[in-house]
Amino acid sequence: MEKKEHIISILVYNKPDVLARIAGTLGGKGYNIESLCVNTTTSYEISKIVMTTVGNQATVTRIENQLRRFVDVIQVDDLTNIESIHREMILVRLNITSDKKDQIKKAIDTYKWKVLLLSDSYVVLEITGDKPQIDFALARLEPLGIADITRTGIVALQLED
């Protein structure tokens, strides 16, 4: 069976150890979590976890079933099989040096990157997009000299109920 990335959306009760439970069990059973995003929903009591993992359909079904066993898990959906929209975000700091200054300015204008902070010595950018868009941006940022970068996990939203 073909291995591919699956984005799994999990609604859970916002309990202190719910993330440890999920991460621990999946890790303990040998399933890798590639990326992870967690926060509360409109209710503080309920959190949504968006997790990506790589595997064939049978493995991912096993992961889903494993997740459903948890007392604190309310709902599990594999967004890969449902119409959904996916986003990631990066925060990047570029150091402004005399030789790169013009290049950086030009890139920001060309790609319409959002500038969060600008000083004499650095610029901080916020870029969001789906995976290909982020990868595209990263390829353009690389030659400019990335001083530091943070990339979030994938967040995703299903388009139908």
Partner 1 sequence: MKLKGTQILLKILEEENVEIIFGYPGGTVLDIYDCLYHSKLKHILVRHEQGAVHAADGYARATGKVGVCLVTSGPGATNTVTGIATANMDSIPIVVFTGQVPTGLIGNDAFQECDITGITRPCTKHNFLVRNIEELAATIKEAFHIARTGRPGPVLVDLPKNVMAEEIEYDPANIKIRNYEVFHKPAPKKMAQVFEMLFHAKKPLIMTGGGVILGKASLELTQLAQKYQIPVTGTLMGLGSFPGTDQLWQGMLGMHGTYYANMAVSHCDLLIAVGVRFDDRVTGTIETFASNAQIIQIDIDPSSINKNVVVDLPIIGETKATLKDLMKFLADHNYAPVPAQRKAWLAQIAEWKEKVPLTYCQNGKIIKPQYVIQKLHEVTKGDVIITTEVGQNQMWTAQFFSFDKPNTFISSGGLGTMGFGLPAAIGVKCAFPDKQVVDIAGDGSIQMNIQELATAAQYKINVKIVILNNGYLGMVRQWQELFYEKRYSYTDMTYAPDFVKLAEAYGIVGLRATKPEEVEAVLKEGLDMNKPVLMDFTVSREECVYPMVRPGASISEMTLDREITN
State the residues that interact with partner 1 by CB under 8 A. Answer: 13, 16-17, 20-21, 24-25, 28, 58, 61-62, 65-66, 68-72
Residues 85, 17: Cα–Cα separation, whole Å: 28
Q: Which of 46, 138 has the CB closer to partner 1?
A: 46
Residue with smaller CB distance to partner 1, 68 or 101? 68
User: CB-wise, 1 or 139, nearer to partner 1?
Assistant: 1
Name which of 49 and 90 has its Cβ closer to partner 1.
49
Specify the residue, 26 or 146, whose C-beta has the smaller distance to partner 1: 26
How many other CB atoms sit within 10 Å of the CB of residue 96? 17
3-state SS string for the chain: CCCEEEEEEEEEECCCCHHHHHHHHHHHCCCCCCEEEEEECCCCCEEEEEEEEEECHHHHHHHHHHHHCCCCEEEEEEHHHCCEEEEEEEEEEEECCCCCHHHHHHHHHHHCCEEEEECCCEEEEEEEECHHHHHHHHHHHHHHCEEEEEECCCEEEECCC
Q: Please report how close the Cβ of residue 4 comes to partner 1 at its closest, in angstroms.
A: 19
Nearest approach in angstroms of CB 31 to partner 1 is 13
Minimum CB separation of residue 34 from partner 1 in Å reads 21
- Kindly state the smallest distance separating residue 19's Cβ from partner 1, in Å: 11
Closest approach of partner 1 to the CB of residue 84, in Å: 23
